Amino acid sequence: MFKKLYLLVILSLLTTAAAFAQDSLDVHFNALGWLDNREYKAFTPRSRTYSGTRTEFDLGLHVDSSNAFIVGTNAIHEFGAQPYFLNAVPVAYYHYQSSKWLFNAGEFPREGLIDDYPIAMLNDTLMYYRPNVEGLLAQYRTEHFWQNGWIDWVSRQTDTQREEFLFGSEGKFTPGDNGLFYIRDYFLEEHDAGAAILLPNDHIFDNAALEVRLGLNFSGKTFLDSLSFEAGNLSSALRERGVDGWQPRNGVVFSAYASYHRFAVFEQFYKGQGSIIYYGDSYYEKPTYNRIDLSWTPFLSGHVKGQFIASFHFSPGQFNDNQEVFRVTYDLGRKTIARFKDGN
């Protein structure tokens, strides 16, 4: 059902947009370089160094002020790897944007759209190794409220390969004009079905997570550049169809963020039943977890940002897990290179 609806929407949009006159052609380029060293005794398989670069380049054909077709590539190289590109995935999507609505259909970068989920739900290596969403995203925005919904195909079913997709939603509501109090919500579900040739005792798995947070934003109200606090509940559940029902887990989350000039500290705390979220950070499988990030941003300009982050992870029995990260990002923005009027 999801596949048929997805294809129908894309075909309808392509047919409709083809009737518009061409308006402008633009180019976009952004890049990410990272060196991420992790010393984890709590999770030995993840105690390694991630390093590499990701470059995204695309061309956008704007048929009018709201509709565009964007085509390009998002390529990843790990330092020292052969062949050179670990993965080069296509960027190809229809984009609609108005004063309140945004809609993407196709293969499009997750950056700026669903890249701020809590790492308990979507881990922080996705920005390195799975930078694109393959599916649909719709977002509605007003002055005090925004909410999106999306679906992302992870694996297409073949005789040997499982069918897997993610769908979810996130949003924020800020009542009043002072911006002090706000509510954040995040939802995620993974559907993991078997291959076309079923294996004995193979079943469909569903994995869901919901996090709701209440926040206070004191930015601009103290000598600090930014100061905010959030607290809420993280729920997750897993079921194996035909074997058992939903197996729920719950816990409380708390975070605090403060920044002054180019320095920042970010504190995250979790307490409860260990969560069950396949794409989440493994530390949240623990009943107690505390993470402290100390960051320094020595390079900051209109297009370039370079940041050092030292992270300290505390979980039961492990008090010296640590992580050192350097990331540099470059974003050219969208630059118009040609305009077309009256078919010329």
| Residues 23-58 pLDDT 10s | 899 999 999 999 999 999 988 878 899 999 999 999
Q: What percent of the chain has pLDDT over 90?
A: 72
Whole-prediction pTM value? 0.88
Distance of CA 153 to the CA centre of its chain: 14
- How far the first Cα of the chain sits from its last, in Å, is 42
In a domain, 144, yes or no: yes
User: What CA–CA distance (Å, rounded) separates 154 from 141?
Assistant: 27
Amino acid making up residue 94: Y
Q: What CATH number corresponds to the domain at position 234?
A: 2.40.160.40
In a domain, 78, yes or no: yes
In a domain, 344, yes or no: no
In a domain, 119, yes or no: yes
Residue range of the domain that includes 15: 2-339
User: What CA–CA distance (Å, rounded) separates 225 from 263?
Assistant: 10
In a domain, 257, yes or no: yes
Q: Which of 89-93, 136-140, 193-197, 216-220 has the lowest mean pLDDT?
A: 193-197
**CB contact at 8 A, 51 and 328:** no
Average pLDDT for 213-220: 95
- Name the token pair of 341: 């009027």
Average pLDDT for 116-141: 95
Strand spans (E) along the chain: 24-39, 49-62, 67-78, 87-97, 101-109, 132-141, 145-155, 163-173, 181-193, 205-217, 226-240, 247-260, 263-272, 288-300, 304-315, 318-339
In a domain, 276, yes or no: yes
In a domain, 307, yes or no: yes
How many independent structural domains does the chain possess?
1
Sign of CA dihedral 311, 226, 289, 32: negative
Closest CA to 116 of 207, 49, 179, 188: 188
pLDDT at 6: 43
**CB contact at 8 A, 328 and 298:** no
**CB contact at 8 A, 170 and 140:** no
